[in-house]
Amino acid sequence: MPETKKENHITEVIENVKVSEGVWHITVKAPKLAQAAKPGQFVQVLVEGAGLLLRRPLGIAGADAEQGTVELFYRVLGKGTAKLTGYRAGDSLSILGPLGHGFDTSAGNVLIVGGGMGLAPTKFLAERLEHCEALLGGRNAGELFWTKYYEPATEAMHITTDDGSMGTKGFTVAVLPELLATGKYDRVAVCGPEIMMKKTFEICREQGVPCEVSLEKRMACGLGACLSCNIDSTDGRRLHVCQDGPVFRGEEVFA
Ligand SMILES: Cc1cc2nc3c(=O)[nH]c(=O)nc-3n(C[C@H](O)[C@H](O)[C@H](O)COP(=O)(O)OP(=O)(O)OC[C@H]3O[C@@H](n4cnc5c(N)ncnc54)[C@H](O)[C@@H]3O)c2cc1C
Ligand code: FES
């Protein structure tokens, strides 16, 4: 796959709003980034004033080339994401990207499987695919505020919650075999907790459906220049998640 140009963009914040408990949605004006971004790629955000040396990686959740805007969702975890909530419309935000390799966006009917903040990059994927359905999982209905973003971009949504407050009670991977057995899907794209991605890949392998997974590792440079995000592939290659991924074919990274 040809490399997209990695560049630092001094963007202007358009909106930065809380969308759920501890989760924020930020939209920035970044015309060149919006043109270049592909689903599954990420950016490195420089949060100023938090005393941080390292940028924070966030998956690209949407890019509108006509409007020149890029969307990100972030969960407030530590210093960087907490400080990011203080950015207001008109502020400048330095964003490096687009980084890494994204999902396959070629023709076909894709089942997107996601949970937690993994639903941010797969939202962008849903928006770029011609045919897709989504299997969304969360602990409870409150965590599934994502449905309003997926509804316009998907042909059907399948929902699970751990507590049964929305959709089917249980995990996404409990529903997955039945969905795949319909034979409707050409491939699966998954992003969420690692255990969910591994299980999703195993079920896909059993049913002969190709599966892409989007890994999340602690990162420093985000450019393939340090060792922070190294993993070993199943065939013994040393991979940089930031550069070779974060999206991989499941069989490359899960045995
Ligand atoms: C490729 C990639 C894409 C990502 N996309 C998103 C996204 O779209 N939305 C989003 O909310 N988050 C995303 N993350 C995670 C996000 O980068 C971290 O939550 C963020 O950097 C935390 O920064 P902080 O300064 O607030 O917290 P820190 O002070 O750095 O950390 C707070 C706590 O979170 C833990 N932590 C921080 N980062 C990670 C991580 N990557 N994996 C596991 N534990 C971690 C730390 O160990 C610490 O306990 C992504 C990470 C990667 C690598
Ligand atoms: S974060 Fe430095 S090589 Fe990946």
pLDDT above 90: percentage of residues in the chain: 95
d(Cα 27, Cα 14) in Å, to the nearest integer?
A: 5
Read off the pLDDT band of 3 (50, 70, 90): low
For ligand 2, say whether the CB of 224 is within 6 Å of any of its atoms. Answer: yes
Domains (ranges, CATH) in the chain? Answer: 7-99 (2.40.30.10), 109-214 (3.40.50.80)
Q: What is the pLDDT of residues 211-225, one digit of tens each?
A: 999 999 999 999 999
For ligand 1, say whether the CB of 42 is within 6 Å of any of its atoms. Answer: yes
d(Cα 107, Cα 121) in Å, to the nearest integer?
A: 19
Average pLDDT value for the chain:
96
Ramachandran region, residue 49 (left: φ > 0; alpha: ψ -120 to 50; beta: rest): left
Is a pLDDT exceeding 80 seen at residue 233? Answer: yes
Q: What kind and span of H or E run contains 64?
A: strand 62-64
**Amino acid (one-letter) located at 156:** A
Alpha carbon 70 to chain centroid, angstroms: 14
Residue nearest to atom 13 of ligand 1 (CA): 58
Q: How many residues does the chain have?
A: 255
Q: What is the pLDDT of residues 141-181, one digit of tens each?
A: 999 999 999 999 999 999 999 999 999 999 999 999 999 99
Q: Which of 6, 41, 226 to mutate to test the pocket of ligand 2 (most atoms within 8 A of CB)?
A: 226
Query: How far, in Å, is the centroid of ligand 1 from the Cα of 82?
Result: 11
- Give the SS3 label for residue 150: helix
d(Cα 133, Cα 36) in Å, to the nearest integer?
A: 25
Q: What is the pLDDT of residues 111-144, one digit of tens each?
A: 999 999 999 999 999 999 999 999 999 999 999 9
Distances (CA, A) of 93 to 11, 30, 66, 70: 5, 10, 20, 12
Distances (CA, A) of 250 to 5, 6, 219, 241, 254: 26, 25, 21, 13, 6
Query: How far, in Å, is the centroid of ligand 1 from the Cα of 56?
Result: 7
Distances (CA, A) of 239 to 14, 56, 217, 231: 36, 20, 12, 5
Q: What is the pLDDT of residues 56-90, one digit of tens each?
A: 999 999 999 999 999 999 999 999 999 999 999 99
- What is the CA angle 176-214-233, rounded to 5? 105
Ligand 1 nearest-atom number relative to CA 47 = 25
